[in-house]
Amino acid sequence: MPYLDRDGVKIYYEERGTGPAVLLSHGYSASARMWQGQMDALTDRYRLIAFDMRGHDRSDSPEHPALYSHELTIGDMAAVLDACGAKRAVIGGLSLGGFMSLAFHLAHPERVIALMLFDTGPGYRKDGPREEWNRMATTRAAQLEKDGLDTGSASAEVRVAHHRSAKGLALAARGMLTQKDGRVIESLPGIRVPTLVLAGADDTMFTPSADYMAAKIPGAEKEILADAGHAANIDQPQAFNAAVRRFLDRVTK
């Protein structure tokens, strides 16, 4: 299994297929395993790259809280692309992975061919809603530290992960799931690459975010998949893969 070393932190990644590169980032407490259906279906024409974020599944869970941040995650994404020899890629992700895809575009627009934002949101412009989100994240961290790993009631993309460290997930919640400012949401009108915004119709937390992003990102395409929840790619894999393939076929010609 391939790993890269990020200053002593091992990051797991995998790639499959040939063609234009597509980097897929998973949601919080999920892992690259959530993209198996896309790896199987889309690698006939595309080179799919996925990785486990630090604190998750096969990647390391460093002990120090300072080793978990948006900036380090963006660096991990760039390092994975470098390890795969991909100067530019379509950047996509679900939930936290979608937010980090937007953050990656903000940091490295020259490396982004297009964006795919799945069941995700762009963060918050106002302090109040952001603080409420951060309370949710830190509550989740405290629960993990108290009760350990328990994914029995989690959504589909989380249940397929094989985590080793509840502490790693707790540190990731505090350092990566929390948000500091509104830079990502404020960047939406300046996005100039083709963008697909997709969500499951039953994902009531993030369908309003999909509407918002589709309205704010110039020229963005929006797909809402019926009978799908937060893990739209697992709930409705055929419809999800068809929507992604249509988009990729158009933007990578």
**Helix/strand/coil for 106:** helix
When the pLDDT of each residue in the chain is averaged and rounded to a whole number, the result is 96
Residue 253: pLDDT over 90: no
Positive or negative CA dihedral for 75, 123, 225, 205? positive
pLDDT of residue 153: 54
pLDDT of residue 146: 87
Residue 209: pLDDT over 60: yes
pLDDT of residue 147: 84
pLDDT of residue 193: 98
pTM: 0.96
**Helix/strand/coil for 195:** strand
CB-based contacts of 71, cutoff 8 Å, min separation 6 = none
pLDDT of residue 19: 97
* Average confidence (pLDDT) over 3-25: 97
**Helix/strand/coil for 168:** helix
pLDDT of residue 151: 54
Tokens (6 digits) for 243: 């929507």
Whether the Cβ atoms of residue 150 and residue 175 lie closer than 8 Å to each other: no
More confident call, 159 vs 214:
214
**Helix/strand/coil for 203:** coil
In terms of Cα–Cα distance, which of 100, 139, 132 is closest to 116?
A: 100
Architecture of the domain made up of 3-251: 3-Layer(aba) Sandwich (3.40)
121 band by pLDDT with thresholds 50, 70 and 90: very high
Q: What is the pLDDT of residues 149-203, one digit of tens each?
A: 875 556 788 888 999 989 999 999 999 999 999 999 999 999 999 999 999 999 9
